[in-house]
């Protein structure tokens, strides 16, 4: 990977918010990287940094032996071992005054460099990419496509657990608007047959994951590409590095996509592996991806599968899909979609008595969950307006056959998880 000029390396000596700090300095157009204090000095020098910032939370013990190897590099160094809180301006000033940074790192520049890198890495060969419709894989698809056009083939697997209109939306955007080679595989029946009678949450995840790899591998084999595009982003890499880990293991080595058969050895193309999520979104916007895709709520890989409690039937899955679409539609209409981190419906396999069309009914329950979070590690319940919840309830009960009751989940995380399974 080519070095980005004017790189500042933040050395993590025990600093909880170091990713946010790195991101805030990048917002001022100075490119930063985060490395643990256990990193070998040679690894730091591979990035040809213009300067170092030593970061620790107030009260974290000093580590003079670790400091010595960085001091020996004789690079301009800012010491923030007393805590980074409120120090973004100081850091930017240091980068400009002491390290010669011009503050010219922009997303336009990133895109230009990424396009050149992809072209030189791939040459005239083919790339295959698994498109999920999520932000990261979508942005990587748009970026690689801009670089090499029809040399890229995207594989979009419909596992039957997608949200309403999702397969249509992804095909509309990529195959039609972007004129991309898109291989759409409708494997719904295959997945739903395999999931028949499976009610244990972990088992469901395993079935979905294993089947997904198989379907993707079959489709990818037909493309016969030596390269695999992946939507790895910077936090994926940072979070896989232990602060106190083995210094030789500090750089994540990706050899292959998790679980692909041994005989499918791809070389990886990961053009956004040094970007934070918001930066990936910005690249996506600049490449012309629509907001409905870029600014969508996070959605788990096993999809509606883990929002349908218990064994999945086609009929009850259809109820969940419809109810979820109503929740999203009303949330958006009321201007609340972007005020929440995730808001969705859950299918509860419990039948209760009710009255529908003036007759006794005995039908299923849909739960609504709306949470806010910063990092999904903890979450708070959103107090959606009562009127909005009532509108959702009225529409679900009226429009979704088989459902006669709607409840609101008021459980924070912890003690609850965000998903029900």
Site for ligand XMP, rule CB under 6 A: 205, 298, 300-302, 306, 342, 376, 413, 417-419
Q: What angle do CA 362, 368, 329 make, to 5 degrees?
A: 105
- Cβ atoms of 271 and 143 within 8 Å: the answer is yes
For the bound state, the minimum distance from the C-beta of residue 418 to ligand XMP, rounded and expressed in Å, comes to 3
For the bound state, the minimum distance from the C-beta of residue 188 to ligand XMP, rounded and expressed in Å, comes to 19
For the bound state, the minimum distance from the C-beta of residue 367 to ligand XMP, rounded and expressed in Å, comes to 14
Complex with ligand XMP: residue 231 or 271, whichever CB lies closer: 231
Rounded Cα gap, residues 19 and 12, in angstroms: 10
Complex with ligand XMP: residue 177 or 380, whichever CB lies closer: 380
For the bound state, the minimum distance from the C-beta of residue 341 to ligand XMP, rounded and expressed in Å, comes to 7
> How many residues comprise the chain?
421
Complex with ligand XMP: residue 229 or 302, whichever CB lies closer: 302
- The DSSP code for 339 is G
- Cβ atoms of 167 and 158 within 8 Å: the answer is yes
Complex with ligand XMP: residue 12 or 303, whichever CB lies closer: 303
Complex with ligand XMP: residue 4 or 411, whichever CB lies closer: 411
- Cβ atoms of 294 and 285 within 8 Å: the answer is yes
Return the structure tokens found at 421.
């399974």
Complex with ligand XMP: residue 105 or 216, whichever CB lies closer: 216
Rounded Cα gap, residues 389 and 222, in angstroms: 47
Return the structure tokens found at 24.
């805030």
Cβ burial, residue 83 (10 Å; 0-12/13-18/19+):
middle
Complex with ligand XMP: residue 267 or 338, whichever CB lies closer: 338
Return the structure tokens found at 222.
């037909």
Rounded Cα gap, residues 365 and 276, in angstroms: 38
For the bound state, the minimum distance from the C-beta of residue 52 to ligand XMP, rounded and expressed in Å, comes to 34
> Is beta strand 127-130 parallel, antiparallel or unpaired with respect to 77-80?
unpaired
For the bound state, the minimum distance from the C-beta of residue 413 to ligand XMP, rounded and expressed in Å, comes to 5
Complex with ligand XMP: residue 136 or 282, whichever CB lies closer: 136
Rounded Cα gap, residues 196 and 160, in angstroms: 13
For the bound state, the minimum distance from the C-beta of residue 307 to ligand XMP, rounded and expressed in Å, comes to 9
Complex with ligand XMP: residue 38 or 342, whichever CB lies closer: 342
For the bound state, the minimum distance from the C-beta of residue 414 to ligand XMP, rounded and expressed in Å, comes to 9
DSSP string, 252-290: ----S-TT--TT--PEEE-TTTT--HHHHHHHHHHTT--
Complex with ligand XMP: residue 153 or 303, whichever CB lies closer: 303
For the bound state, the minimum distance from the C-beta of residue 281 to ligand XMP, rounded and expressed in Å, comes to 16
Where would I find the beta strands (DSSP E) of 63-122? 77-80
Where would I find the beta strands (DSSP E) of 13-141? 32-36, 51-55, 77-80, 127-130
**115-152 residues labelled b (16+ CB within 10 A) or e (exposed):** beebeebbeeebbbbbbbbbbbbbbbbbbbbbbbeebb
Rounded Cα gap, residues 166 and 132, in angstroms: 10
Rounded Cα gap, residues 334 and 387, in angstroms: 10
For the bound state, the minimum distance from the C-beta of residue 206 to ligand XMP, rounded and expressed in Å, comes to 10
For the bound state, the minimum distance from the C-beta of residue 377 to ligand XMP, rounded and expressed in Å, comes to 8
Cβ burial, residue 74 (10 Å; 0-12/13-18/19+):
exposed
Complex with ligand XMP: residue 37 or 299, whichever CB lies closer: 299
């Amino acid at each position: 990977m080519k070095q980005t000029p004017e790189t500042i390396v933040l050395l993590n000596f025990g600093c909880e918010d170091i990713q946010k700090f790195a991101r805030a300095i990048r917002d001022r157009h100075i490119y930063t990287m985060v490395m643990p204090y256990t990193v070998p000095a040679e690894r730091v020098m591979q990035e040809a940094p213009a300067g170092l910032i030593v970061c620790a939370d107030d009260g974290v013990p000093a580590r003079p032996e670790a400091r010595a190897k960085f001091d020996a590099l004789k690079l301009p160094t800012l010491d923030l071992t007393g805590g980074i809180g409120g120090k973004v301006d100081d850091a930017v000033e240091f980068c400009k005054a002491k390290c010669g940074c011009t503050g010219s790192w922009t997303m336009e520049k990133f895109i230009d460099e990424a396009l050149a890198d992809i072209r030189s890495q791939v040459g005239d060969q083919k790339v295959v990419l698994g498109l999920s419709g999520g932000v990261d894989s979508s942005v990587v698809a748009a970026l690689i496509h801009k670089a090499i056009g029809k040399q890229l083939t995207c594989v979009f697997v419909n596992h039957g657990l997608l949200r309403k209109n999702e397969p249509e939306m992804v095909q509309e955007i990529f195959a039609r608007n972007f004129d991309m080679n898109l291989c759409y595989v409708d494997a719904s029946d295959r997945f739903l047959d395999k999931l028949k009678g499976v009610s244990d949450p972990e088992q469901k995840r395993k079935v979905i994951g294993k089947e997904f790899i198989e379907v993707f591998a079959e489709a990818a084999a037909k493309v016969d590409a030596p390269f695999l595009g992946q939507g790895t982003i910077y936090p994926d890499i940072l979070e896989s590095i232990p602060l106190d880990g083995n210094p030789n293991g500090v750089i994540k080595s990706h050899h292959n996509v998790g679980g692909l058969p041994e005989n499918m050895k791809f070389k990886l193309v990961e053009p956004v592996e040094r970007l934070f999520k918001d930066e990936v979104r910005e690249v996506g916007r600049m490449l012309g991806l629509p907001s409905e895709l870029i600014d969508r709520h996070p959605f788990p890989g096993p999809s509606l599968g883990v929002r349908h409690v218990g064994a999945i039937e086609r009929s009850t899955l259809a109820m969940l899909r419809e109810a979820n679409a109503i929740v999203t539609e009303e949330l958006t209409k009321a201007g609340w979609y972007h005020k929440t981190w995730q808001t969705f419906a859950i299918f509860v396999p419990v039948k209760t008595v009710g009255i529908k069309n003036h007759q006794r009914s005995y039908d299923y329950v849909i739960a609504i969950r709306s949470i806010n979070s910063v990092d999904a590690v903890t979450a708070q319940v959103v107090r959606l307006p009562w009127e909005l919840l009532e509108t959702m309830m009225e529409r679900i009960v009226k429009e979704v056959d088989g459902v006669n009751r709607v409840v609101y989940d008021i459980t924070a995380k912890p003690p609850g998880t965000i998903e029900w399974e």
